[in-house]
């Protein structure tokens, strides 16, 4: 397994280009199953989660071609069964259920297990499919959904932990080919849901309200091929904003959608950093230390759970006591014990991390079993004294395109050591 070695203490400056969004690209690639015609998707990031999704689509029978950031997919004839060996590597494989159900009125996909950030149920996805007149059963570890006919309906997808991003996408995809009108109440309003709805619209779907808590879908008989560019990754952008705040002099992010980052730029500005924000670029001026901040993660447009770990790294060095409360995945604190090994002073009280800023962090061998937690450790390593070895880098490679090269481009001193056992 690869590891990343970060030599702390270099200051970052320059420009970094943000890649296409992982969490937009995954359901958009799955949505190509809704038509037999070719679809062309641009700005698809080169990440292991994307490779898994393309493998699943190929396994289902789609023709997949990839040339740098552009993927062409033609799902002329597809099977409706995605087995365990192929879907177990990535929880987001569950988003092939909606398009397969929509187009073929049946799908059988191995159930995703829990993961380190929490239980990750799919009850709300199934609630939506049932509302559309599908039967859902769990058999031998697989979830099987089928219907004689999909019929539009009104369904509330708000769960105890708020709305569901992939659940909203899944039900929206199935509903595009249902008979009649579907209304999703309590829908997720994340930019990734809007991007998916825009792509489906280009395929001929009739969708209104994406980006609000109520989405209306008028079913059509069939969808056609379409071409689309995935939106910039707001979480990769947020991660580089934190890197720049922690270790930067002046760092500019290009190819961002600044509107999608309001909650994050507000938090970084509250932490005392100056930002110059334009529609598609953001410059951060680092100033060495940050002010304490009190943050609560929430569904969009609130502060994103996917930026919580990185902010904990930033606030570990703040001048005072901060708090970070996680409401979306209340157990998502794998980074805390590792940051403490680097000298951070953090106490966990339920779903709240109380962070007492320290003047110095020190490099250490660390590892985390979650993508964003691992990224937070790389960020902490940028300002730690000495050397930080971040193990199990495959977690980072799931969601960050060449994070080591991009940070090195800004002046960080980082090595990737290949194939550690």
23 binds ligand EPU (CB under 6 A): yes
Among candidate residues 39, 95, 115, 136, the one labeled active-site is 115
With contacts defined by CB under 6 A, name the span among 117-125, 220-228, 240-248, 360-368 that binds ligand EPU: 117-125
CB 124 within 8 A of CB 164: yes
Q: Give residues 187-216 in contact with ligand EPU (rule: CB under 6 A).
A: 188, 192
Q: Out of 3, 103, 108, 125, name the contact with ligand EPU by CB under 6 A.
A: 125
C-alpha of 139 from chain center: 29
164 binds ligand EPU (CB under 6 A): yes
What token pair was written down for 283?
Answer: 């410059």
123 binds ligand EPU (CB under 6 A): yes
With contacts defined by CB under 6 A, name the span among 72-80, 158-166, 333-341, 348-356 that binds ligand EPU: 158-166
Within 13 Å and on the Cβ side, how many CA atoms surround 378? 33
Tell me whether residue 161 or residue 266 sits nearer to ligand EPU (CB atom): 161
69 binds ligand EPU (CB under 6 A): no
The answer for 5, left when phi > 0, alpha when psi is -120 to 50, beta otherwise, is: beta
**DSSP-assigned states of every residue in 190-231:** -HHHHHHHHHHHHTT-EEE-BTBSEEEEE--S-----EEEPP
Binding mask 319-348 for ligand EPU (x = CB under 6 A): ---------xx-------------------
CA distance 249 to 34: 47
Return the axis-axis angle of helices 22-31 and 97-104, rounded to nearest 10°: 20
CA distance 190 to 413: 34
Clarify whether 115 is annotated catalytic.
yes
- Closest distance to ligand EPU from the beta carbon of 83 (Å): 20
165 binds ligand EPU (CB under 6 A): yes
What is the radius of gyration, based on Cα positions, of the chain? 21
174 binds ligand EPU (CB under 6 A): no
166 binds ligand EPU (CB under 6 A): yes
261 binds ligand EPU (CB under 6 A): no
- Report whether the peptide linkage leading into residue 301 is cis, meaning its omega lies within 30 degrees of zero: yes
Q: Out of 92, 207, 241, 246, name the contact with ligand EPU by CB under 6 A.
A: 92
Tell me whether residue 95 or residue 318 sits nearer to ligand EPU (CB atom): 95
C-alpha of 259 from chain center: 17
CA distance 230 to 46: 13
- Closest distance to ligand EPU from the beta carbon of 188 (Å): 6
C-alpha of 79 from chain center: 27
52 binds ligand EPU (CB under 6 A): no
Q: Out of 9, 121, 211, 411, name the contact with ligand EPU by CB under 6 A.
A: 121
- Closest distance to ligand EPU from the beta carbon of 161 (Å): 3
Q: Out of 12, 29, 39, 122, name the contact with ligand EPU by CB under 6 A.
A: 122
Tell me whether residue 147 or residue 171 sits nearer to ligand EPU (CB atom): 171
Tell me whether residue 128 or residue 152 sits nearer to ligand EPU (CB atom): 128
76 binds ligand EPU (CB under 6 A): no
- Residues linked to residue 275 through DSSP beta bridges, in sequence order: 284
Q: Could you tell me which of 34, 410, 59 has the C-alpha nearest to residue 247?
A: 410
Q: Out of 195, 306, 401, 404, name the contact with ligand EPU by CB under 6 A.
A: 306
305 binds ligand EPU (CB under 6 A): yes
Q: Could you tell me which of 50, 372, 47, 49 has the C-alpha nearest to residue 239?
A: 372
113 binds ligand EPU (CB under 6 A): no
236 binds ligand EPU (CB under 6 A): no
Q: Out of 9, 61, 83, 159, name the contact with ligand EPU by CB under 6 A.
A: 159
* CB proximity list for 67: less than 8 A, separation 6 or greater: none
Helix ranges, 33-183 (H): 48-59, 84-87, 97-104, 123-131, 165-175
CA distance 372 to 361: 19
Instruction: Write out the catalytic residue numbers.
Output: 115
Residues that bind ligand EPU (CB under 6 A): 23, 26, 92, 118-125, 159, 161-162, 164-167, 188, 192, 305-306, 328-329, 371-372, 399
């Amino acid at each position: 397994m690869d590891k990343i070695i970060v030599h702390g203490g270099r200051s970052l400056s320059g420009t970094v280009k943000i890649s296409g969004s992982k969490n937009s690209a995954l359901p958009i690639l799955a949505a190509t199953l809704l038509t037999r015609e070719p679809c062309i998707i641009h700005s698809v990031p080169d990440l292991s989660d994307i490779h898994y999704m393309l493998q699943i689509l190929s396994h289902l029978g789609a023709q997949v071609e990839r040339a740098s950031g552009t993927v062409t997919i033609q799902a002329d004839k597809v099977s409706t069964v995605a087995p365990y060996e192929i879907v177990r590597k990535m929880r987001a494989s569950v988003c092939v259920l909606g398009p397969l159900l929509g187009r073929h009125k049946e799908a059988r996909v191995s159930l995703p297990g829990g993961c380190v950030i929490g239980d990750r149920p799919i009850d709300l996805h199934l609630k939506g499919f049932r509302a559309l007149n599908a039967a859902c059963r769990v058999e031998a570890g697989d979830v099987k959904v089928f219907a004689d006919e999909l019929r539009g309906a009104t369904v509330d997808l708000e769960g105890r932990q708020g709305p569901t991003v992939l659940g909203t996408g899944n039900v929206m995809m199935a509903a595009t080919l249902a008979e009649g009108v579907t209304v999703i109440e309590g829908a997720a309003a994340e930019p990734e849901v809007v991007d998916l709805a825009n792509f489906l619209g280009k395929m001929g779907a009739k969708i209104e309200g994406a980006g609000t808590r109520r989405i209306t879908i008028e079913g059509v008989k069939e969808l056609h091929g379409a071409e689309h560019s995935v939106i910039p990754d707001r979480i990769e952008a947020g991660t580089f904003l934190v890197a720049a705040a922690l270790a930067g002099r002046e760092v500019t992010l290009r190819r961002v959608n600044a509107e999608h980052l309001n909650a994050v730029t507000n938090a970084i500005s509250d932490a005392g950093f100056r930002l110059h924000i334009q529609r598609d670029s953001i410059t951060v001026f680092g100033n060495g230390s940050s002010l304490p901040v009190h943050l609560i993660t929430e569904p969009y447009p609130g502060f994103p759970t996917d930026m919580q770990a990185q902010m904990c790294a930033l606030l570990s060095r703040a001048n005072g006591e901060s708090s970070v409360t996680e409401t979306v995945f209340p157990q998502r604190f794998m980074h805390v014990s590792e940051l403490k090994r680097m000298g951070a002073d953090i106490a966990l009280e339920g779903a709240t991390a109380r962070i007492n800023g320290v003047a110095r962090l020190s490099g250490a061998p660390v590892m985390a079993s979650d993508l964003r937690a691992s990224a937070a450790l790389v960020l902490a390593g940028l300002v730690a004294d000495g050397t930080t070895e971040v193990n199990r880098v495959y977690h980072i490679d799931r969601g960050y395109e060449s994070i080591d090269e991009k940070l090195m481009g800004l002046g960080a001193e980082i090595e990737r050591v290949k194939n550690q056992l």
